[in-house]
Structure 1
């Protein structure tokens, strides 16, 4: 059962305990309700994709209580600082370079070198984020492809029984998702949202570029070859060939495994880390073989990433 919590100090504490345990808690922001999970935990982030039935990994927005907190995870240029000063807390997401070494799960960024960050203005979101002291990955709290939720009842309609709790903070005041602006290589509007473009441009002092149908920046899956290790990758392997590092799944044992029990949530959480470890073991001239993964649920996302890792490299 999904717990329905009130925005009281006691229930905020309950939500914090669930989040620190790797569970998912939906909470209100001024835009829509977000499905929160610990952004530093592979398992928690994998559970977000699983709960939403999201068919592929996309970068998730990381929610933090302040710019000062955000600077622990990302690098802010003068232009990024100008926008943050003007609109945070508020319905603006900034895509900025990831600070390395990163404590964020690589599932949050989809393996990219940038991260999407927002500081929400809703008092319940602020109370939760301040009490948590951890960054929360939080896409909209609805099944993938469905209408975004602006009330707690909407969340329960779509995700009831699939998440630990929802905090009822009443209707969302903005009701549309945040505007998303990337700051690299130049200020570009990736998604119109809760802030007018004119206001963003006034804060910057110059026009924003607008991403076309094929933006270069943060959306994963735009290149046929992506998430590629140094070593070559072979898929659907039951045994290793000479010189290969075999990554197993379920009954197929290997040098490494995505999940010995065949758990797709566990496999999704382990994917990027395992790919990197296999690459280290294989060496620059080696190769990696992956056991078959069922192409259902999160398996579709895993196979999508593995196909891109195995694709001919773009030069």
Structure 2
């Protein structure tokens, strides 16, 4: 079983040494907990895939400490620089052309000529990246396709036998994964909605940003989180429910939800709902019920990311 570390410099240093030795360490970011490994090591990346049971064609996000570090691995255009200035550190991943001399394992990028890079805002993640001096491949620290972890307890329950350490940084503040923005061509495209709304990116770039919500079920996706059935609890999920049917349990949203239902946000706040999403789905994923019914969530701002996760959780498996 993995050892739980406290977020002290001494114990984060233990985690950094383990990462440099090719071991896996789970750590908090502002979005969800990541399963970190040396992104330049094929063996470490392979261990991530093995621990998650992740399809090899689904690329991993690489975390670096700063935009300056990103330039070592990707071709950073003027648009990418503008986005980085506005949203890094933060819950935004950019998919950029891979440099010819890029040291990132091809396994981490699924053999593509692009690389997905993020600069996390969480203090623990930043400290760990600085101490290791490495780019860290760090998908969500959960079995592939299952609910993403927003606490150290979630990671220990799901991956405790497959990771060396879990740094306990408490609950994640954003609660859904990063927005994934492709800048591989002239048209900026969001491949996965997340913690940064499309409208904010469009304002920085001064041009429209397309949101591609369709799933990629067989061909190699350019982004993590693009498989059809993803972020799924073990129970079936029924969307846009007004109430629970016999045998179901209800996940509510807003003040109109029944008082006895678990509620993403009793006041209808989308930021609160995003932060609670995975933790509440986990609590409801109980075999005494036949399904999870979910009340509608507005398709605006962070609601776009929330609904993207819910649609994938409800997809046929």
Aligned positions of 1:40-189 closer than 5 A:
40-185=40-185, 186-189=187-190
Equivalent in the alignment of 2:193:
192
Equivalent in the alignment of 1:274:
none
C-alpha separation in 1, matches of 2:160 and 2:221:
34
Aligned positions of 1:1-20 closer than 5 A:
1-20=1-20
SS at match of 2:201: helix
Q: CA deviation at 1:214?
A: 7.0
C-alpha separation in 2, matches of 1:125 and 1:55:
25
C-alpha separation in 2, matches of 1:152 and 1:96:
31
Do the aligned residues in 1 keep the contact of 2:191 with 2:223 (CA within 8 Å)? no
SS at match of 2:107: helix
Equivalent in the alignment of 2:21:
21
Q: CA deviation at 1:33?
A: 0.2
State the Cα deviation string for residues 194-239 of structure 1 (Å, max 9, x = none).
Answer: 011111111111110222637897259x9xxxxxxxxxxxxxxxxx
Do the aligned residues in 1 keep the contact of 2:181 with 2:188 (CA within 8 Å)? yes
C-alpha separation in 1, matches of 2:47 and 2:161:
13
SS at match of 2:207: coil
CA RMSD of aligned residues (A): 1.7
SS at match of 1:166: strand
Do the aligned residues in 1 keep the contact of 2:29 with 2:125 (CA within 8 Å)? yes
Q: 1:58 to 1:165 in 2, by over 3 A?
A: same
Q: What is the number of equivalent residue pairs in this alignment?
A: 221
C-alpha separation in 2, matches of 1:49 and 1:74:
23
Give the TM-score, by structure 1 length: 0.68
C-alpha separation in 2, matches of 1:82 and 1:16:
31
For the pair shown, the structure with the greater C-alpha radius of gyration is: 1
Do the aligned residues in 1 keep the contact of 2:198 with 2:211 (CA within 8 Å)? no
Which stretches in structure 2 are left out of the alignment for 5+ residues?
Answer: 227-317
Q: CA deviation at 1:55?
A: 3.5
Equivalent in the alignment of 2:290:
none
C-alpha separation in 2, matches of 1:21 and 1:118:
23
